[in-house]
Amino acid sequence: MEANIVLLPGDGIGPEIIQQGQRILAAVAQRFGHTFQFESHLIGGIAIDQTGDPLPDATVTACRNAAAVLLGAVGGPKWDDPTAKVRPEQGLLKIRKELQLFANLRPIQTFPELVDASPLKREIVDGTDILFFRELTGGVYFGESGRSTSDGVESAYASMVYSVPEVERIVRLAAVAARGRNNRLTSVDKANVLEPSRLWRQVAQHVMSEEFPDVQYDVVLVDAMAMHLISRPRDFDVVVTGNLFGDILTDEASMLPGSLGMLPSASMGSDGPGLFEPIHGSAPDIAGKGIANPLATILAAAMLLRHSLGLEDEAKAIEAAVRAVLADGLRTADIAGGSPSIGTEEMGTAVLEKLQA
Ligand code: NAI
Ligand code: MG
């Protein structure tokens, strides 16, 4: 396969971890006989410094024409001036919008080699493997909102709105992903109270019974889900939910593995390129020191191969290489727990060697 991959290193540790992600993708191409072309573009603070724009047009055009995009992170104290008109995060929000990325995918997986990093007991989290689909462009974050004053009392409102097509398209994406895993999908809502949740439940039910009768499907209320995630996280496979509930539940779930530097995520649309990135930020406190953990970015590269290029075997090869490196006891400082650690590039090299073995 030939594919054009855009790299957006961004700020802080972004360039260091993207460099490792690129090495791994290049090694996969070599091992499996693909041709990947890489092109780097500006986003975030570095783009503001060089062009005055957190998302220059050249970046948008390149992303639109790419098969997929691998992003590091944006932001840092240098651009934190609250009076500034342009901010690094605007670049991220705008690229998601330009590419119409309405689904945020977050795999939550505990690694047996690292399970002691979890704040929960080993017997509860060990073996957790959940893939969240959070709706990203609708719901209460994008509904009409404002303030009003009546009889001297000020109030504020924000409305939660979901349309049938918005629910259909994300449920379909999640159901397709479930077929590639354990064939189980859970939809999370608040249908006992909220009208948009009742629509969500009705549409999801319809899509599942008409188009995915082979996928085991159930629904859970969001408050119950918040409890299940920490009492029996192993019981879930693919989970689909709206923007607000997904924001909160995915942050809750990201604590299960106990290691920020290990978690990738993706934003996808119906067609066109997906955007793949680590969930962590630009870590300005460790930028330039060569000690950042590149594994979240390397696992994001695996997601890129799986979800944008359809290369499942290649994705699995990367994930197996990461597990093998952890099994060898290799750790960057953030996951070393005080034991001896290796740097960003050494970790990349270790994964590369497993891939080539
Ligand atoms: P952060 O995720 O950058 O860092 C939190 C802590 O985790 C820090 O101590 C950092 O050193 C550590 N850490 C993060 N990633 C690591 C890695 N790969 N290896 C080892 N240690 C790692 O979050 P923080 O400090 O709240 O934000 C820093 C900057 O990043 C801010 O400007 C923020 O706006 C931005 N940010 C950007 C995101 C993005 O581009 N998607 C997401 C979150 C924050
Ligand atoms: Mg959040």
User: In Å, how far from its chain's centre is CA 337?
Assistant: 25
Task: Output phi, psi for 160, to 5 deg.
Answer: -95, 115
- Residues 283-323: tens digit of each pLDDT: 999 999 999 999 999 999 999 999 999 999 999 999 999 99
Whether 141 is a known active-site residue: answer: yes
What is the structure's pLDDT at 271?
86
Beta bridge partners of 10: 73
How far is the C-alpha of 22 from the C-alpha of 7, rounded, in Å? Answer: 8
SS3 53: coil
How far is the C-alpha of 276 from the C-alpha of 298, rounded, in Å? Answer: 10
76 lines ligand 1 (CB under 6 A): yes
- What topology does CATH give the domain 1-104+260-357? Isopropylmalate Dehydrogenase (3.40.718)
260 lines ligand 1 (CB under 6 A): yes
What is the structure's pLDDT at 357?
85
Per-position b or e across 201-217, b if 16+ CB within 10 A of its CB: bebbeebbeeebeebeb
What is the structure's pLDDT at 167?
98
Domain boundaries, the chain: 1-104+260-357, 129-255
Nearest atom (ligand 1) to Cα of 80: 32
User: In Å, how far from its chain's centre is CA 60?
Assistant: 20
How far is the C-alpha of 101 from the C-alpha of 133, rounded, in Å? Answer: 12
CATH of 129-255, one of 3.40.50.300, 3.40.718.10, 3.40.50.11540, 3.40.640.10: 3.40.718.10
Question: pLDDT tens string for the chain (357 positions)?
Answer: 999 999 999 999 999 999 999 999 999 999 999 999 999 999 999 999 999 999 999 999 999 999 999 999 999 999 998 888 999 999 998 999 899 999 999 999 998 888 888 889 999 999 999 999 999 999 999 999 999 999 999 999 999 999 999 999 999 999 999 999 999 999 999 999 999 999 999 999 999 999 999 999 999 999 999 999 999 999 999 999 999 999 999 999 999 998 888 999 999 998 899 999 999 999 999 999 999 999 999 999 999 999 999 999 999 999 999 999 999 999 999 999 888 999 999 999 999 999 998
Structure ipTM: 0.98
Q: Give the mutation target among 260, 277, 293 for probing the ligand 1 site: most ligand atoms within 8 A of CB.
A: 260
Distance 280 CA to ligand 1 centre (A): 5
Q: Give the mutation target among 70, 80, 247, 282 for probing the ligand 1 site: most ligand atoms within 8 A of CB.
A: 282
Structure token digits, residue 83: 């009076």
Segments of the chain assigned E as strands: 2-10, 35-40, 68-73, 103-109, 129-135, 145-150, 153-158, 184-189, 216-221, 238-241, 264-268, 274-278
SS3 162: coil
- Residues 167-182: tens digit of each pLDDT: 999 999 999 999 999 9
Contact yes or no for 96/267 (Cβ under 8 A): yes
Domains 1-104+260-357 and 129-255 belong to one CATH topology: yes
Model pTM? Answer: 0.94
SS3 107: strand
What is the structure's pLDDT at 123?
93
Amino acid identity, residue 147?
A: R
Structure token digits, residue 227: 């409890």
Structure token digits, residue 300: 């994001």
Number of CB atoms found within 10 A of residue 164's CB: 13
What is the structure's pLDDT at 23?
98
